[in-house]
Structure 1
Amino acid sequence: MGTIWAPSLGDKPGPKYQRVADTIRAAVENDTLRVGTKLPPVRDLAYQLGITPGTVARAYSTLTDEGLLQAEVGRGTFVAERQTKVMDDVWSRELHLREESDPNHVSLFSPRLADVGQVAAIREAMKKVAAADPLMFLNYPTRDAYRPVREAVVEWLSDQPLGPLDESQVVLTHGGQNGILTVLQAVLKDAQPTLLVEDLSYAGFRRASELLRAKVVGVGMDEHGIRPDSLELAIRKTGATVLCTSPEVHNPTGLFTPQKRREEIIKVARRHELQIVEDDCYRMGEAGAPSYRALAPDITWHVCSISKVLTPALRVGFALAPKGHEQDLRRSAEYSFFGLSQPLAELIRVLLSDPRSKELAKEVRKEMAKYVRVAVNALGAFELTWKDEVPFLWLKLPAGWRSAAFTRAAEAAGVQIRSADEFALRDGRAPNAVRITINGQVSLAKFEDAMLRLRSLLDNPPEQISV
């Protein structure tokens, strides 16, 4: 069933793709768009709203991930059936072999971890928490109550090259993104502060900065990450006081910053009293070099989480303050969200203290590596950046393709990926590339089929280049 729906975005604030998604969501909720209704083609709706097709495609993809819309290859995008059936079966270690409702659809937007036993471990930990002191479920969290949790975090991180770490330097956050925001609240001091990031960088840096009304400026990169000369120039031009960077696993390119380059960056930072915010949330394996925190513990704020090694569902991360700034970080967390709930914090303590958890993290890494190899086998003829222990690949597109057009074509083929445009600053230039993440919750056969669909597109670019 088609529709004569005539939407209007109005003048609401926010990113245009989000406004499109909100407009569609509202139309579904008030039954203007009913179950089974076919939405306009991406280009038609883009023309009608006066925006780019890529913006509409991103809105459709967002709502498809939510389950509000359903994309059917060769037919279009439809309002999906509402999910009312309660799942009463028990999730098992075969979770990653369960196929999605649409057999042709594979989401490669964000990493999806395979279940190698961590679901059972979390359930077991939840039972222990449920039997804990009832006051835990009644009282506000306190700093002293969290000490055993912070100590468990220190032990969990003890094999990482972070330098000396004391529990007093640890703040528990609601995932890595909240960790970044909490750190920036502690370090951004000026009325209109400036934050530096790689020219191509994790969008969460920008989003956190926007919330704090900070200006974001890109720094030039090469194959080793941030260039020291570009960093020096950016500081002199802007007076920036903070640098956000991901030296171990750069998101989205997967690049690695070697120790020598890190030491050069630190020299520049010290000359200009620059604080470094180190995001280490995407690394699944061993570190390739000492962290900025180990090399410059007095100026480095470190953020990591369990999202890529155990599960992102619990939304738990760890922010580590430089020595002498522990109270600044604690104050930032306490003033903004009081800290994690006590039951959740206790769940993390039980989980991280379980000696099986590190083995589970290794098994997750091994399982995800199988998918990485499948992707490399299918796409290795093209310019691909990958590592076994990184849950995404960076693909530079061949002649004939532009990233926005390729992303749309991939979605039409049932595979959702991210364009490089999503990682570029608003006034920056994005390379002609896409990020492909690993989905360990579909079978290897289905994942391989998705990779082969992408390869078919790469082998057959359109006759006319579109944007």
Structure 2
Amino acid sequence: MWQPELQSGPMPLYERLVLAMAHDIQTGELAPGTKLPPQRDLAFRLGISVGSVTRAYAEAERRGLLSAHVGRGSFIRAALAAVPDIPTIEHGIASGQDKNRAIDLRCNTPPPVPLMADLNAALAALMARGALDPAVHYIQGAGLSHVRAAGAQWIARQYGLDFDAQNLIQCNGGQHGIALVFSSFCAPGDTVLCESSTFYGARMAADHLGLKLRGLPMDCEGLLPEALDRAASETASHLLFTLPTLHNPTTRTMSEQRRREIAAVAKARDILILEDDAYYAYSERPRQIVSYAPERTLYLASLSKGICPGFRLAFLALPPNLPPERLMRGIRALGYCPPALGALVFSQWVADGRIDAIAKAVQREAAARWTLTRSVLGDLIARPGAPHSPHAWLPLPELEAERVTAQLLRAGVEVTPPDASATSPQADTGLRLCLGAPESREELGRALTTIGRVITGRGEDDRDGII
């Protein structure tokens, strides 16, 4: 069985795997006609995700290194004209590779709306009143006081929650907020409880910090309270990470009753809750878990999913009686202080009301894209727990999801690998489609049409010449 040696470097894993394949072809270790290991077997032996191997095999097939045959496997091709196109580690990218060849539905970002005029207006207003100076200096660890005050106003208007600005911490995006909480309240080897599928960024943070994620069973409303109670007893974990609204990736949303039940278990088991409410603006607005357990819930509200990801701005609301010292040490250790320029623009947008207009524009575009997605894919996608969602969930059995991922990549559409979010063998399997990532609805429509053809078995156009 082929056992490639993956070099270190800045390239993604799948690129390094393709590079190793090309090297072994050139040296004769992989002779023409050699059958490659099944993707799952190779992923297990290399200690990498199946999605990375799936993408590598699809890319190697595109470059002419192998041929794939349904039911038989993947084989090294005799013709190796594409080998010179393989990148070197030093260059970091493939020579001649068209980086725009695929429509990318992997990045869960708000749909694009015009922002440059609003950005220029905010910068001009800040400059006119001499308020840009903090952008070139270190600021205090928790963030500028007037930015946190603007954050409290924005959360009150958009999320319906009243927080004291003094209890808000300005974070470098939601990912920083998650890493900050994980590192401040857990030690290496500790267990963090979460849904059986969860945000990939939380998985990355836990892995980097040496933490274990215990994925808990879900139903149509999300996390099961009895599963949380049982896991807390078995693991002695004291931290729950949850996405109760438009759960990423499955789009499920907890009912108000379910949120009350989760809060009750947390109180009984002395569990801190990190409530990631990144998608609240897209929902029908059930009351947040923090409303039922304010003394033990750290509430995370980010601009990245509903306003502007480039600002790298989020706010972490602390329980009133939680000592902030551990978090402050974490801030200093992980970045010393948050960046100021995007935060200053945000505070100006809150002051002049532009942020409300931007949020409404994002929601209109998101609703239009969701309508388009439903019209193309229909009941192939799960119904979300809200009128529309920035991501869609396409339930599929695990092996079928892997096959579809590879076939879509060959057809020019990239989706989130099926194993990216799973934290438990019992996790729901399928594909997440990020509807805000394409630059236009037309581009999204082309991607959705391709997905529909592949799922329904009509995506075989690339085999028309085979006899």
| Matched residue, 2:162 | 164
The Cα offsets for residues 187-233 of structure 1, whole Å up to 9 and x where unpaired, read as: 22x56321101111112222222232222111111111111111111
Verify: 1:270 aligned to 2:267, yes or no.
yes
User: Could you tell me how far apart the structure 1 residues matched to 2:100 and 2:217 are?
Assistant: 43
Q: Structure 1 residues 25, 289: CA separation in 2 closer, same or farther (over 3 Å shift)? A: farther
1:126-153 CA distance string (max 9 Å, x none):
3445563575355321369711110001
Aligned to 1:395: 394
Superposed, which structure 2 residues align to 1:137-176 within 5 Å?
137-142=135-140, 146-161=144-159, 163-176=161-174
Determine the C-alpha separation between the residues in 2 that align with 1:204 and 1:145.
23
Gaps of 5+ in 2: 27-31, 45-49, 69-80, 87-93, 461-467
Partner Cα distance (2:262, 2:135) in 1: 46
**Contact 1:244 1:279 survives alignment (8 Å):** yes
Q: Which amino acid aligns with 1:370?
A: A
What is the distance in 1 between the residues matched to 2:59 and 2:125?
A: 36
What residue is the counterpart of 2:432 in the other structure? 435
Q: TM-score, normalised by structure 2?
A: 0.78
1:413 Cα offset (Å): 1.2
Query: Counterpart of 1:136 in structure 2: which amino acid?
Result: P
Alignment of 1:303-322 (within 5 A): 303-322=300-319
Q: Could you tell me how far 1:334 is from its partner in structure 2?
A: 3.2
Give me the identity figure in percent.
24
Shift of 1:450: 1.8
- Separation (CA, whole Å) in 2 of partners of 1:403 and 1:81: 30
Query: Structure 2 matches for 1:2-401, cutoff 5 A?
Result: 8-9=5-6, 18-21=12-15, 50-51=42-43, 54-58=51-55, 79=94, 81=96, 101-102=100-101, 105-129=102-126, 132=130, 135-142=133-140, 146-161=144-159, 163-188=161-186, 190=187, 192-325=189-322, 327-328=324-325, 329-386=327-384, 387-397=386-396
Provide the rounded CA distance (Å) in 2 between the counterparts of 1:428 and 1:20. 24
Give secondary structure in 2 for the equivalent of 1:422: coil
Q: TM-score, normalised by structure 1?
A: 0.78
Specify the code of the residue in structure 1 equivalent to 2:402.
Answer: A
Q: Distance in 2 between matches of 1:134 and 1:294?
A: 36
Give the match's secondary structure for 2:310.
coil
Opposite residue 376 of structure 2, the aligned amino acid is: A
After superposition, the C-alpha distances for 1:10-54 in whole angstroms (9 at most, x for unaligned) are 6x699xx954445768999xxxx9xxxxxx99x85978x944764
* Aligned partners of 2:126 and 2:132 also within 8 Å: no
- Counterparts of 2:12 and 2:362 in 1: how far apart (Å)? 33
The separation in 2 between residues aligned to 1:452 and 1:396, in whole angstroms, is 17
Q: Comparing 167-176 with 279-288, which one deviates more in the overlay?
A: 279-288
What amino acid is aligned across from residue 220 of structure 2 in structure 1? Answer: E
Structure 2 residue identity aligned to 1:336: L
Per-residue deviation, 1:307: 1.1
Q: Aligned pair in 2 of structure 1 residues 334, 236: CA closer, same or farther (>3 Å)?
A: same
CA distance in 1, matches of 2:58, 2:319: 39
Unaligned runs of 5+ in 1: 1-5, 34-39, 64-68, 84-99
- Counterpart CA distance in 2 for 1:314 and 1:60 is 36
Q: 1:175 to 1:144 in 2, by over 3 A?
A: closer
Local SS of the residue matching 2:157: coil
Taking a change above 3 Å as real, the CA distance of residues 59 and 147 of structure 1, as seen in their structure-2 partners, is farther
Which amino acid is 2:273 matched to? I
Specify the alignment match of 2:465 in structure 1: none
Q: Within 1, Cα distance between the matches of 2:143 and 2:404? A: 51
Question: CA separation of 1:145/1:187 partners in 2, compared to 1, >3 Å: closer, same or farther?
Answer: closer
CA positional deviation for 1:446: 3.0
1:347 corresponds to which letter in structure 2?
A: V
Q: Choose 292-301 or 163-172, whichever is displaced more.
A: 163-172
Q: Residues of 1 paired with 2:59 and 2:135: CA distance? A: 35
Distance 1:171 1:154 in 2: 10
In 2, the alpha carbon distance for the partners of 1:20 and 1:420 equals 15
Whole-angstrom distance in 2 between the partners of 1:282 and 1:60: 34
Number of positions where the alignment pairs a residue of Structure 1 with one of Structure 2: 418
Q: Secondary structure at the match of 2:344?
A: helix
Aligned partner of 1:362: which letter? K
> What's the offset of the Cα at 1:164?
3.4
Instruction: Name which of 383, 386, 405 aligns with 2:403.
Output: 405
